[in-house]
């Protein structure tokens, strides 16, 4: 999804290099990048990327701000011609000053020394016992704790997606406290993800329970990483002058409707991405459910896409139909989930069900048939059409 994407690979001889993709992007013209070269030796990756940028600088659309992107040039020239021009330019820079030497790689690598890991057992029996005896702690371990390459350690995601709080928001006090947790539990290092959460990358397994208790007091231990309420959300109309619609209040409304953790764990992995305008700062194109704020005669409406996914197998979502009002959105999400619960196979994620069935069953459920006396969905002031049966689970009590 990026203008230039690099993936570390090895060739048949075991040499390290990069697979290079170009021409990706979201926003007004969402495009998945295409491969321009399957292997560039690591020594030459800077000069190769430089040649990509030089070709773009020479032929990119400077006359139109909306088309001033590598993806537009790749589309206009075609990947074969774009690659030909890059390769031709590269011949002039390939062994130039920006070629990486082993000595330079070693010098820079020395600046990224690994922490002083201790020699620890693969697992901690005391921690495993606590997991069995404490359901809330066990759920947190399942959702927020990730494997580590060093035995006895784990990577921990501190959730900034507590219901009632804007996704990704943290107070100054929380940030100070998170820094203190990093000092205490993770060699003083704290990372921020594009999913709008925090990560402590190097936590001893024996410290996990203490970290969970501390994070819980800070409101950072919600066991929802990868679940429905772990939404990506842009600032939207409350803070951004470009936005067509509010994003944060919508994320709050959706989270409050599905704030039962048992329900969320039953639904399983689900990515909801919300953008307040076509610039796609919330990455709605690659959400399992993507929500785009649009303007209709000065009123805010929301367009739904489903089937998108980020990662190495990125897919753009598909629009299911006409847009919805703010008040309709929680019910729309509920209807999409009804189809998933009804049609899913065992252990099948929402995105897998969408891929298998296509968007039509979801579209039919959302739009349904007109209620007597109501016009079809989509016009100002009209409610959702069709009868809505709440998801049948003892955990779920819809509040919309």
Strands 289-296 and 272-275: parallel
- Report the predicted TM-score, pTM, of the whole model to 2 decimal places: 0.88
Q: Please report the beta strands in the chain, taking only residues with DSSP state E, as ranges in sequence order.
A: 4-10, 16-22, 34-41, 145-146, 153-158, 191-192, 198-204, 232-233, 272-275, 289-296, 299-306, 318-319, 324-325
Give the residue range(s) of CATH 3.90.480.20 domains in the chain. 125-217
Q: What is the CATH number of domain 4-112?
A: 3.30.413.10
pLDDT in tens, the chain (400 residues): 999 999 999 999 999 999 999 999 999 889 999 999 999 999 999 999 999 999 999 999 989 988 999 999 999 999 999 999 999 999 999 999 999 999 999 999 999 999 999 999 987 777 777 777 888 999 999 999 999 999 999 999 999 999 999 999 999 999 999 999 999 999 999 999 999 999 999 999 999 999 999 999 999 999 999 999 999 999 999 999 999 999 999 999 999 999 998 999 999 999 999 999 999 999 999 999 999 999 998 899 999 999 999 988 899 999 999 999 999 999 999 999 999 999 999 889 999 999 999 999 999 999 985 322 333 443 333 334 333 333 333 223 333 2
Write the CB contacts of 121 (distance below 8 Å, at least 6 apart in sequence): 151, 152
Q: Are 250 and 302 in contact (CB under 8 A)?
A: yes
> Class assignment of domain 232-367?
alpha beta
Alpha-carbon dihedral sign for residues 393, 133, 163, 282: negative
Closest alpha carbon to 312 in 45, 3, 7: 7
Q: CA–CA separation, 224 vs 227, rounded Å?
A: 5
Give the residue range(s) of CATH 3.30.413.10 domains in the chain. 4-112, 232-367
Q: Are 333 and 272 in contact (CB under 8 A)?
A: yes
Q: Which residue has the tokens 């399942």?
A: 142
Please name the CATH architecture into which domain 125-217 falls: Alpha-Beta Complex (3.90)
């Amino acid at each position: 999804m990026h203008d230039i994407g690099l993936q570390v690979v090895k060739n048949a001889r075991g040499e390290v290099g990069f697979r290079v993709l170009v021409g990706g992007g979201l926003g007004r013209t969402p495009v998945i990048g295409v491969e321009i070269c399957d292997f560039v030796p690591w020594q030459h990756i800077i000069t190769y990327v430089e040649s990509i940028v030089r070709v773009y600088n020479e032929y990119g659309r400077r006359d139109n701000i909306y088309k001033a992107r590598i993806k537009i040039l790749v589309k206009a020239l075609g990947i074969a011609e774009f690659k030909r021009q890059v390769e031709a330019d590269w011949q002039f820079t390939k062994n130039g000053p920006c070629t990486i030497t082993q000595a330079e790689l070693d010098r820079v690598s020395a600046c990224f020394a690994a922490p002083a890991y201790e020699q620890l057992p693969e697992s901690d029996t005391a921690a495993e016992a606590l997991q069995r005896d404490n359901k809330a702690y066990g759920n947190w371990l399942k959702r927020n704790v990730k494997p580590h390459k060093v035995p006895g350690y784990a990577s921990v995601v501190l959730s900034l997606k507590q219901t009632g709080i804007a996704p990704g928001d943290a107070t100054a006090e929380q940030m100070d406290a998170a820094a203190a947790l990093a000092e205490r539990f993770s060699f003083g290092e704290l990372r921020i993800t594009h999913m709008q959460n925090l990560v402590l990358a190097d936590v001893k397994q024996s410290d996990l329970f203490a970290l969970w208790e501390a994070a819980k007091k800070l409101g950072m231990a919600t066991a929802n990483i990868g679940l429905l309420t772990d939404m990506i959300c842009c600032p939207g109309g409350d803070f951004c002058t470009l936005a067509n619609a509010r994003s944060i209040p919508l994320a709050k409304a959706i989270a409050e409707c599905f704030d039962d953790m048992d329900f969320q764990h039953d639904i399983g992995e689900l990515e909801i991405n919300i953008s307040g305008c076509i610039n796609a700062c919330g990455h709605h194109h690659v959400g399992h459910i993507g929500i785009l704020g649009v303007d209709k005669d000065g009123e805010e409406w929301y367009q739904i896409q489903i089937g998108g996914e980020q990662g190495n197998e990125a897919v753009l979502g598909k629009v299911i139909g006409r847009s919805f009002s703010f008040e309709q959105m929680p019910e729309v999400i509920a209807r999409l989930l009804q189809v998933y619960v009804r049609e899913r196979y065992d252990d099948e994620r929402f995105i897998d069900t969408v891929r298998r069935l296509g968007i039509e069953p979801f579209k039919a459920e959302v739009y349904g048939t007109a209620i007597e006396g109501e016009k079809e969905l989509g016009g100002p002031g009209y409610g959702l059409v069709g009868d809505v049966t709440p998801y049948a689970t003892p955990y779920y009590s819809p509040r919309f």
